[in-house]
Amino acid sequence: MHTPRRVLLGICGGIAAYKVGYVISTLAKAGVEVRCILTQRGQAFMPALTVATLSRHQAYTDDGFWQSDQGRPLHIALGEWAELLVIAPLSANTLGKLAYGLADNLLTNTVLASTCPVLLAPAMNTDMWQQRAVQRNWQLVMQDARYHGIEPGNGMLACDRVGTGKMAEPDDMLMAIESLLHTGGQRDLAGQQVLISGGSTREHLDPVRFIGNPSTGKMGVALALAALHRGANVTLVHGPMADSLRSRLGSVQTIGVTSAAEMHRAMINHLPQADWVIMAAAVADVKPATQADHKLAKADLPALLPLAPVPDIVADLAQRRQPHQKLIGFAAQTGDIVPPALDKLRRKGLDAIVANPVDVANSGFGSDRNQAIIITRTGKQTTIPPCSKLSMAHQIFDAL
């Protein structure tokens, strides 16, 4: 048994409120206790009955502002109850109130009566978002360490305008919520430069055939997001990756590559600036000895394929790194995962290695979940039981 996590969600006026229903429902189904506050304008877009049904708890509105919770003012009780406060969609009006510490409704009073982290997901028309006053308010709020923001994205808005103003997608909000519940809002990697590799590499025989593996890059993305949410400046060097996955990366600097040689060059080029280097990519071990610039006819394919080695990226990084730089490798294994990981740790000169099974259901390549054993240079082993890849990423940073 464990104590359920507690999320208080504030809903302001805006058509993007419809997205919040998915967030509420997903959290509730995962066993998170969810309470919701609707502003007066928020109720026009998301009825209190809908919110109450999805959250399995009554929705709070300004009509009940002065009601008490077991004899205590409601905004005080809710503020003390919340482990995390999420405001989505955040309107320009409420943003202005937060910037200057104003409180004229239940939501803004609860913000001032709480000390937990606050996640903000703005949504508004492009011209509204780009107003100097709104941008000033946003920057002012973001200077407060208590606030964490997911800036709006670009696309077609409900007003038929194409531009910046779309609220973050529900899955992106859920990942930010998971991170904040794990860290409590602490930015313990602030000022750190984190260099990560992720995904697979492809070694082409011709333009349509290649040697590769099933890695999708989900673990690399999870590591990048965990580091970003903890305040780091993050660079992710990744192999071929789905657009839907890459779009989650926000302000992470991304460098797309295809082959091991391209990944090697990118990692070496960015090594000097890095404090942390995490080699999570599943890099090919060999490549075709020759590569055709046109598709080979089936009859022209060799019966025996001559192979050549590819650069040993992690070994090269280990030789070039400075004493202050932490170098962590990954070992995707089958069977007993510890012995081969220990061997790789010692041969490559790593600070730590993350051994994860790829022959276990709901783990490894392509899965949204993973499990692992972290082994440090001193021999200490930390087991990470099955969990989301984002949770595993945070536990790796915790352990190291």
Name the nearest CA neighbour of 270 among 242, 309, 238: 238
Q: Which amino acid is at 341?
A: A
The answer to whether residues 329 and 196 touch, using CB atoms and an 8 Å cutoff, is no
Using CA atoms, how far residue 271 sits from 196, 227, 267, 354, in Å, is: 10, 17, 6, 20
Using CA atoms, how far residue 48 sits from 42, 53, 111, 170, 255, in Å, is: 9, 9, 20, 19, 44
Name the nearest CA neighbour of 301 among 313, 314, 292: 292
DSSP 8-state code for residue 247? G
Tokens 């992710």 found at: 236
Phi, psi angles (nearest 5°) of residue 306 = -65, 135
* Token couple for 219: 């673990």
Tokens 């460098």 found at: 255
Name the nearest CA neighbour of 391 among 222, 244, 174, 148: 222
DSSP 8-state code for residue 297? P
* Token couple for 1: 């048994």
Give residues with Cβ within 8 angstroms of 343, minimum separation 6. none
The answer to whether residues 387 and 371 touch, using CB atoms and an 8 Å cutoff, is yes
* Token couple for 69: 């919770």
Residue of 12, 116, 159, 387 marked catalytic: 159
Tokens 């025996």 found at: 304
- Continuous segment of H or E residues that includes residue 76: helix 74-81
279 has which bridge partners?
197, 329
DSSP 8-state code for residue 273? G
* Token couple for 176: 């930010």
The answer to whether residues 206 and 295 touch, using CB atoms and an 8 Å cutoff, is yes
Q: Kindly provide the b/e burial profile for residues 197-224, where b requires at least 16 CB atoms within 10 angstroms of the residue's own CB.
A: bbbbbbbbbbeebbbbbebbbbbbbbbb
- Continuous segment of H or E residues that includes residue 135: helix 132-142
Please confirm, yes or no, whether 159 is among the known catalytic residues: yes
Catalytically active residues are 159
